[in-house]
Amino acid sequence: MTAKNKMEEIRPLLIIDDSEENLSVLERLLTHLGYQVDLCKDGLEALDRLSLRSYEMIFTDVNMPRMNGIEFLQSIRSKGDSTPVIMITGFPSITLAVESMKKGASDFITKPFQVGHIEHLITRTLKEKSLRQKNRFLEEELRDKKKIE
């Protein structure tokens, strides 16, 4: 395996939460699953981090100081960033889940975390992301083909 292939296998994930305990739990879980994990304590710190690198997926708490998860989601979507964002809350409500999804969240999970659920969620979300990318590529190919004809 080449160094390039090894680099491609590392899938960076970003976790945003103001709770050290939640950051630690998710970091251990996701690292154990083979992901490279970066941690941020709020949405503003995460925006700074996103200016330095891209991520396969982002997990963000809803309630945080300075910039909450909904504000963070709105900010990145307004910039055209389509990275899958999973919203996390300890206080679930249908209204919050619907609002998150309308603003572009990929999914919504509640604390405490269940390992099997997180693993399934990541697999499904990354598969959906890959399919969207392939679909965009095929649409571009089709447009190019129509221009040529």
Q: Can you tell me the distance from the alpha carbon of 96 to that of 98, in angstroms, rounded to the nearest whole number?
A: 6
Nearest residue to 11 (alpha-carbon basis) of 57, 68, 65, 60: 57
Question: Does CATH number 3.20.20.150 belong to domain 9-148?
Answer: no
Residue 29 region, left (φ>0) first, then alpha (ψ -120 to 50), else beta? Answer: alpha
Q: Can you tell me the distance from the alpha carbon of 5 to that of 10, in angstroms, rounded to the nearest whole number?
A: 9
Residue 2 has pLDDT above 60, yes or no: no
What are the structural domain ranges in the chain? Answer: 9-148
pLDDT (tens digit per residue) in 88-117: 988 878 888 888 889 999 998 888 878 788
Where does the pLDDT of residue 9 fall: very low under 50, low under 70, confident under 90, or very high at 90 and above? Answer: low
Angle at CA 46, nearest 5°, toward 45 and 48? 65
Q: Report the amino acid identity of residue 145.
A: K
Where does the pLDDT of residue 7 fall: very low under 50, low under 70, confident under 90, or very high at 90 and above? Answer: very low
Residue 6 has pLDDT above 50, yes or no: no
